[in-house]
Amino acid sequence: MPRDGLWFKAEMAGQRPPFSSGWIQDKLLAQGALDGLNEEARAILLAMVNTGGRPSEIANLTAVRRRETAARS
């Protein structure tokens, strides 16, 4: 199998450092930076910026889940 022998170095495991606020503002929230995205992709990206959620977590949310979570807060 082509993947035999592949592994990650121990120092690669763990958490990645967060993006700095400046980088987010300068790159992701800059004027026109999201112009190429459709409405759904733009909403997912903005939710990621605001919550720290992963794309798959946000994209798979339903309206019912969002209301349940908000009601618990």
Please give the residue range of the domain that contains residue 46: 39-73
Residue 7 lies in a domain: no
Does residue 9 lie within any of the structural domains? no
Given this model, what pLDDT does residue 19 score?
Answer: 87
Decide if 20 is inside a domain: no
Question: Quick one: pLDDT at residue 31?
Answer: 95
| CA dist., res. 44 & res. 49, Å (int) | 9
23 backbone dihedrals φ, ψ, rounded to 5°: -65, -45
pLDDT, position 37: 95
Q: How many domains does the chain have?
A: 1
Going from the first residue of the chain to its last (73 residues), give the mean pLDDT of each consecutive group of 10, the final group possibly shorter: 64 74 93 95 92 89 67 67
Residue 58: inside a domain, yes or no?
A: yes
How high is the pLDDT of residue 10?
63
